[in-house]
Amino acid sequence: MAAVRSEQPAVVVQGVDMDFGTGAMAVKGASFALEPGRFLTILGPSGSGKTTLLRMIAGFQAPTRGEILIGGRPADAVAPHRRSIGMVFQKLALFPHMTVNANVAFPLKMRRHDPRTIPARVARYLDLVRLGGYGNRRIHELSGGQQQRVAIARALVFEPDLLLLDEPLAALDRKLREEMQLEFRRIQKELGVTTINVTHDQREALVVSDEIIVMDHGEIQQHTSPVDMYRSPANPFVASFIGVSSFLEGLSSPRGLMVNGVDCAGVAAGAILPGMPARGAIRAEQTRIGAAAEACDTVLEGRITDTIFEGERLMYFVDLPALGTGVRIYHHDPAEHAPFEKGATVSTGWNARDLLIFPAKDR
C-alpha cells in the first residue's frame, strides 16, 4: 500500500558534475528526474561514476556543479540523520561490533521507535531477507552474501521514503540473486518506496527496474524503460552493454550500411546522412543461422570459427568473408540437438529492422 505522495518528482538531478581533481570527472552533466514509487537502476561498467552519483544523492558528497533535489528540497537542506533514506553501501558498512539483530534494530532505535515493537519488526525483516534465526550472530560470523542481506534488512527496516542500493546483490550466488531480485521488486511495490539501484549486471537491471540509466565515463548515455533500452539503444555503447551485439563498420547507404562494398539492410538510429561513416550494431539473438537465415533481408555466406556451449543455447562465432569481419550468433534449437560443425559453411542473415545504424563518431 503506497503512502500518499506529493506530485513533484522524488529525486531530481540537474546538471550535476563531480570532479575529484584526480583527472577525468567522475560524473559529468548528469540530469534526470525520478517519480515517486519508481524503481530506477543505474547500470554501467566499473568506474563509470555510479557510486559517486548515488553518494551525491544520499547527500554524502556535494556536487562540484549542479543541483540535487529530494522530494523537492535540496539534498543538503536536511541534516543527514533526519533524511529518510535507506542505503546499502557497496562495502556494506555494517557495524562490526554489533550482532545482526542490533544492526537491524539500530535505525529503529535511532528513530525512536517504541522499544516494544522493535524486536518483532527486526525479526520480520530478517525473515524477509531469509536470515530468520541468524539474529544473534556477529557480523564476522556470516558469509559475504548473508552480510549483504543484513545490510538490505537494515536499509529497509525503517521503511524509508527513498532507498539507495549500491550493488546489493553482488556477492550472492546466481539462484539467490535472482530470488532476491524478484523479492526486491515485490518489497518495493509493496512499500511503494522510490528506489535507486546500482549494478553492472544488465540482467538484474532488466528484471527489476521500471527505468534504467546507462552510464559510461561519468556520463548518462540513456535513460529509458528496460524494453526501450533493449530495443532502441541510443548509441553503440548501450547496444554493447545491454545484451551481446556485433558491430559492422562502413558508410551509411539508403538501404542501410555499405560494408566492404556489400549493401546491408538496416535502419538508421539517430540523425545520419547517406555516405557518412557509420557503425551498425546487431544483436547475437537477432542474427539467424542456417535455414532460418534464408528468408532474411540480408543473407550472407559465413564460416563457423568457434562454438560456445551455454546450456540453454549455443553461441557461434561466424566469419563473413564478404564483409571482412565476423559476427556472434545465439542459436537456440529446441527441436534437435544438431549443432553446426566448426569450419562449416552456413547461411547467415538478419532483417533490416535488427541492424541499427549509428553515426560512427559515437562511442
- Give the list of residues 6+ apart from residue 221 with CB closer than 8 angstroms, or none: 214, 215, 234, 235, 237, 238
Q: According to CB under 8 A, which one of 9, 36, 49, 86 is a site residue for other proteins?
A: 86
Question: Which of positions 119-178 make contact with other proteins (CB under 8 A)?
Answer: 138, 154-155, 158
Q: How far is CA 170 from CA 92, 131, 184, 243, 310, in A?
A: 11, 17, 14, 19, 22
Among 11, 12, 26, 85, binds ligand ATP (CB under 6 A): 26
Give the angle 338-331-202 at the CA atoms, nearest 5°. Answer: 145
81 binds, among other proteins, ligand ATP, Mg ion, none (CB under 5 to 8 A by kind): other proteins
Smallest distance from other proteins to CB 107, Å: 4
Rule CB under 6 A: say whether 28 interacts with ligand ATP: no
In angstroms, rounded to a whole number, what is the distance separating the alpha carbons of residues 32 and 20?
22
> Is the CB of 151 or the CB of 356 nearer to other proteins?
151
Footprint (CB under 6 A) of ligand ATP, residues 142-201: 200
Closest CB to ligand ATP among 17 and 333? 17
Q: Cβ closer to Mg ion: 122 or 172?
A: 172
Residue 51 is a binding residue for Mg ion (CB under 5 A) = yes
* Contacting residue, 28, 38, 43, 44, with ligand ATP by CB under 6 A: 44
**Residue 92 burial (C-beta neighbours within 10 Å; 0-12, 13-18, 19+):** middle
Q: ∠ at Cα 205 (201, 209), nearest 5°? A: 160
Classify strands 27-34 and 73-74 as parallel, antiparallel or unpaired. unpaired
User: Which one of 42-50, 101-109, 245-253, 336-344 is the stretch in contact with ligand ATP (CB under 6 A)?
Assistant: 42-50
Per-residue HEC secondary structure of 140-180 comes to: HHCCHHHHHHHHHHHHHCCCCCEEEEECCCCCCCHHHHHHH
Q: Residue 168 CB, nearest distance to Mg ion (Å)?
A: 11
CA nearest to 5, candidates 193, 225, 212: 193
Out of 47, 74, 277, 321, name the contact with ligand ATP by CB under 6 A.
47
Which residues form the interface with ligand ATP (CB under 6 A)? 20, 22, 26, 44, 46-52, 90, 200
Which residues form the interface with other proteins (CB under 8 A)? 58, 60, 79-83, 85-87, 89, 91, 93-99, 102, 106-107, 110-111, 138, 154-155, 158
Which residues form the interface with Mg ion (CB under 5 A)? 51, 90
